[in-house]
Structure 1
Amino acid sequence: MAALGDLVGIDDRTVLVLGQELDVEHGRPDVANALVHRAGDTLVLVDTGVTEPFRAALREATGRVGSWSRALVLTTHGHVDHVGNNDLADELGVPVEHYVPAPDLDQMRDPASYWVRSFERIGGLGSLPAPPVLADTLLSVFRPMRPFGATTRTFEELPLEVVRIGSVRFTGWTFADGAVRVLRSQGHTAGHVIVHLRDCGVLHLSDEGNGACGAMADADQLKIQTVLGAVALLLEEGSAGLLTDGHTFAVRRGPEAAADLDGLLEQATALQAAALRLAGEGREVRAADFASGYAEAAAALGGGGANPNAMFTAMMTVNALHEIGLRPESADPDAPWSRPGLR
């Protein structure tokens, strides 16, 4: 069984560093996988996870990919399980660049406010603690938290490029003479990016594939589904050969990975159908009642994401209600939801 910090060799210059699942009850943070790659003389780190043991595993991985004289650290998005060791960039002893997505800066600076806002949306669902308490409990397990280093900049300070991979066009940025492509996806969070490593054929989806329905308050379901479809096409046509992500502790190959992405898209449509069924014909819906049925549908489809738990299922529920056009009738946490009138 995989353990935190295990190193999965992809080739002689690319290593996937494995994270772990979330277990708040036992004080264990989820830790996102990280990629360590060498492009010429440039060390590339894609995300840095969190915790000191994971930091040590990252350092070990940097010694397995060959010699390098400069470094590039890329943050796919601002969630705490991806950014805790970002100041490792300052300890590499070589010239280094570190880039983060500008739309995620606020949550990186103040994760408590981000998570309180996220949990305020689910106040009427179940018996969860008050949002500030829930946010404090969650964030307390993510230590140490060092999301910025001396060289941190935002991707958006760089000129935007059209990046062509096979038959698909993205916008984003390229590094290391085009060997590293950072592609804007912005589905899981407002600033999310995915990363393509040209020379080893790895496409790192990070958290865009973390469940069929994005749970976050800033998630964009259309963008999630669009990027899943685009990546599946790249894998099918051989423009990318391997798929990695933030929370699947494995390297998946082209056809297998494309089939997994197709499965997520099918789950998304099935969940939307379940949401419509639960909402009924235009009647008022109690979010708590809807949440119970939606959670059952998500569990039956295997659609709970990488860390299924009550918090994230409740957040998915609120997004699902919005996706089918319902809105709360007041600011009361227990207010019913219904479709706004067209006149």
Structure 2
Amino acid sequence: MTALGDLIEIDDRTVLVLGQELDVEHDQPDVANALVHRVGDTLVLVDTGVTAAFRAALRAAIDRVGPFSRALVLTTHGHLDHVGNNDLVDELGVPVEHYVPALDLDQMRDPASYWVRSFERIAWVTALPAPPALAGKLMSLFQPMRPFGATTRTYEERPLERIRIGSLRFTGWTFADGAVRVLRSQGHCAGHVIVHLRDCGVLHLSDEGNGACGAMADADQLKIQTALGAVALLFEEGEAELLTDGHTFAVRRGAEVVSYLDGLLEQATALQAAALGLAGESRQVRPGEFTTRYAQAIAELGVGGANPNPMFTAMMAVNQLRELGLRPESDGVDAPWSRPTLQDLAPARHGR
């Protein structure tokens, strides 16, 4: 049984700091895992979680990895559970670089608008408060919230690099003479990156592996699945040895990683097939009714992913409807979704 702030020592200069699951009913925020790593004289933090208790655990992990004279903070994406302690390194008394994805900058500056927009898509879930109230309630859990430090910049202010790892090619950015590689993935949300720590063999997936279907309004299912496939190949080729992520409280190794990632891809295809069956040949699908049946399918398939709860299940269901090619017919609460007919899409024929 793990607890918030527990440390898993990967080697004498790399520590995984464990977070916790979301429990809105009991006023518990989810806290993402963070990596603390030292390469040469540079301290590397991959995400910083949130809460004062997690901040203290980060300080303990920093003390454990050894002496450093500079610090590098790499934010994988802008969600609240990953960015709350981003100013921590400003207290260490060393030169600091901090990078965040440009596409996530707006939600980091104004998380309320981001989450209201996300919850408006599921306003028909009667058990949930109105979107502004729900967003306010959620945000109140993630305190203190300090997503920006004194030196924060976007990755995109650096020249984009072509990065080759084994037989794979990525785009992204490298640090510490190539020992730290930030690879663009952009599946879980618009700006998402994953991080490869070359010297210790760790690939940090962050939230790209959170489940069989991405829940966020700005999620891209194809990019999630492409990232999972690429990471699996890195492990098959021996280019990475250990897998960590944002919400699985463990370190996976070697062949276990390939099996795990293949399993996520199998879950994605199984869940899409289930959703297709639920939508059937119906001209119209009500998202509320679809979500109830979709949640049953998730339970039967055992593919709930990280932080399973009715809120995220509803968000996944909406994304799954969109993946099937359905579109809402209006902006009304629980308005039906339907597929555009080929007749609607075909260009008008003249002269007949």
Normalising by the smaller structure, the TM-score range is: over 0.9
Kept in 2: contact 1:74–1:100 (CA 8 A): yes
> Which residue identity lines up with residue 338 of structure 1 in the other structure?
S
Q: In the alignment, is residue 333 of structure 1 matched against residue 320 of structure 2?
A: no
> Which residue identity lines up with residue 51 of structure 1 in the other structure?
T
Q: Deviations over 1:48-90 (max 9, x none)?
A: 0000010011011111112111110000000000000001121
- Inter-partner Cα distance in structure 2 for 1:277 and 1:212: 17
> Which residue identity lines up with residue 63 of structure 1 in the other structure?
D
Match of 1:276 in 2: 276
Q: Which runs of 4+ in 1 moved over 3 A?
A: none
* SS of corresponding position for 2:87: helix
Q: Deviations over 1:303-331 (max 9, x none)?
A: 22210001000000000000000011111
- Inter-partner Cα distance in structure 2 for 1:212 and 1:163: 27
Deviation at 1:252, TM superposition (A): 0.3
- Inter-partner Cα distance in structure 2 for 1:292 and 1:259: 30
- Inter-partner Cα distance in structure 1 for 2:264 and 2:235: 15
Match of 1:245 in 2: 245
Aligned counterparts, 1:41-60, within 5 A = 41-60=41-60
> Which residue identity lines up with residue 315 of structure 1 in the other structure?
M
Kept in 2: contact 1:125–1:287 (CA 8 A): no
Match of 2:10 in 1: 10
Match of 1:65 in 2: 65
Deviation at 1:125, TM superposition (A): 3.2
- Inter-partner Cα distance in structure 1 for 2:282 and 2:162: 43
Question: Equivalent pairs: percent with the same residue?
Answer: 81
Deviation at 1:188, TM superposition (A): 0.3
* SS of corresponding position for 1:86: coil
Deviation at 1:341, TM superposition (A): 2.0
> Which residue identity lines up with residue 278 of structure 1 in the other structure?
L
- Inter-partner Cα distance in structure 1 for 2:104 and 2:137: 21
Q: Given the two structures, how large is their TM-score scaled by the length of structure 1?
A: 0.99
* SS of corresponding position for 2:141: coil
* Bigger mean CA offset, 173-182 vs 333-342: 333-342
Q: In the alignment, is residue 124 of structure 1 matched against residue 96 of structure 2?
A: no
- Inter-partner Cα distance in structure 1 for 2:88 and 2:104: 19
* SS of corresponding position for 1:203: strand
Q: In the alignment, is residue 83 of structure 1 matched against residue 83 of structure 2?
A: yes
- Inter-partner Cα distance in structure 1 for 2:340 and 2:129: 30
- Inter-partner Cα distance in structure 2 for 1:306 and 1:322: 21
> Which residue identity lines up with residue 318 of structure 2 in the other structure?
V
- Inter-partner Cα distance in structure 1 for 2:53 and 2:108: 21
Kept in 2: contact 1:31–1:82 (CA 8 A): yes
- Inter-partner Cα distance in structure 1 for 2:94 and 2:164: 30
- Inter-partner Cα distance in structure 1 for 2:27 and 2:285: 35
Q: In the alignment, is residue 93 of structure 1 matched against residue 98 of structure 2?
A: no
Match of 1:19 in 2: 19
Match of 2:349 in 1: none
5+ unaligned residues in a row in structure 1: which ranges? none
Match of 1:139 in 2: 139
Q: Given the two structures, how large is their TM-score scaled by the length of structure 2?
A: 0.96
- Inter-partner Cα distance in structure 2 for 1:193 and 1:264: 18
- Inter-partner Cα distance in structure 2 for 1:289 and 1:140: 30
Match of 1:304 in 2: 304
RMSD of Structure 2 on Structure 1 (CA): 0.8
Match of 2:321 in 1: 321
Larger radius of gyration: 2
Q: Deviations over 1:104-130 (max 9, x none)?
A: 001001111100000000112343211
Match of 2:168 in 1: 168
> Which residue identity lines up with residue 303 of structure 2 in the other structure?
G
- Inter-partner Cα distance in structure 1 for 2:282 and 2:324: 11
5+ unaligned residues in a row in structure 2: which ranges? 345-352
* SS of corresponding position for 1:140: helix
Match of 1:185 in 2: 185
- Inter-partner Cα distance in structure 2 for 1:25 and 1:124: 19
* SS of corresponding position for 2:64: coil
Q: In the alignment, is residue 36 of structure 1 matched against residue 36 of structure 2?
A: yes
- Inter-partner Cα distance in structure 1 for 2:259 and 2:93: 42
Q: Deviations over 1:190-239 (max 9, x none)?
A: 00000000000000000000011000000000000000000011111111
